[in-house]
Amino acid sequence: MINDDPTERDYWRGLRALQEHLDAEIAALYAERGVDGVRPRFAYPLIRLAHRGPMTLRELAASLGRSHSALSQTVTAMRAEDLVETAPGADARTRVVRLTERGRSLVPFLEAEWRATEDAIEALDAELPVRLADYVAAMRARLEQRGFRDRIAERLDHPPAGDADEAGDPGR
- Domain range holding 145? 130-172
* Judgement on whether residues 105 and 138 belong to the same structural domain of the protein: no
Residue 99 φ then ψ, to 5°: -70, 145
Q: Is residue 9 part of a domain?
A: no
* Judgement on whether residues 78 and 123 belong to the same structural domain of the protein: yes
What is the DSSP secondary structure assignment for residue 159, as one 8-state letter?
Answer: P
Residue 17 forms beta bridges with which residues?
none
* Judgement on whether residues 61 and 26 belong to the same structural domain of the protein: yes
Query: Residue 172: its pLDDT value, please?
Result: 33
User: What's the total number of domains in the chain?
Assistant: 2
**Which 3 state secondary structure label does DSSP give 52?**
helix
* Judgement on whether residues 138 and 121 belong to the same structural domain of the protein: no
172 residues of the chain, pLDDT tens digit each: 677 898 888 999 999 999 999 999 999 999 999 999 999 999 999 999 999 999 999 999 999 999 999 999 999 999 999 999 999 888 878 899 999 999 999 999 999 999 999 999 999 999 999 999 999 999 999 999 999 999 999 999 988 876 544 444 444 3
Q: Is residue 11 part of a domain?
A: no
Beta-strand runs (E) in 27-67: 55-56
